Amino acid sequence: MFLRKIFLSITFNFSLFLLLMIGIQNSSNQSKVNLIFNESVKLPIGFILGVSFISGSLTANILQSNLKIK
């Protein structure tokens, strides 16, 4: 059950990432991300938001699965 939920979560988030990559092709609004010690290269704003949403969704699903087991 645990592995099935993790697999479904990874599959769903990977498919969202693929849709994000297809949809971001013609984006012209770009910005840099300020990191603690550095700045990133210019990336489309939609990509930055999409990746943060996907990583948050994946992290929440994995943490929720871990808490249910214990």
pLDDT band at 68 (very low <50, low <70, confident <90, very high): low
Nearest to 49 by CA among 22, 31, 36: 31
Domain tally, the chain: 1
- Of all residues in the chain, the percent with pLDDT exceeding 70 is 94
Using CA atoms, how far residue 68 sits from 2, 6, 41, 64, in Å, is: 9, 12, 39, 6
Q: What are the tokens at 55?
A: 């990583």
List, for residues 14-66, the tens digit of each pLDDT value: 999 999 999 888 878 888 888 888 888 888 888 889 999 999 999 998 888 77
Domain that holds residue 58: 2-69
pLDDT at 13 over 80: yes
pLDDT of residue 51: 92
At 69 the pLDDT is 61
pTM of the entire structure? 0.76
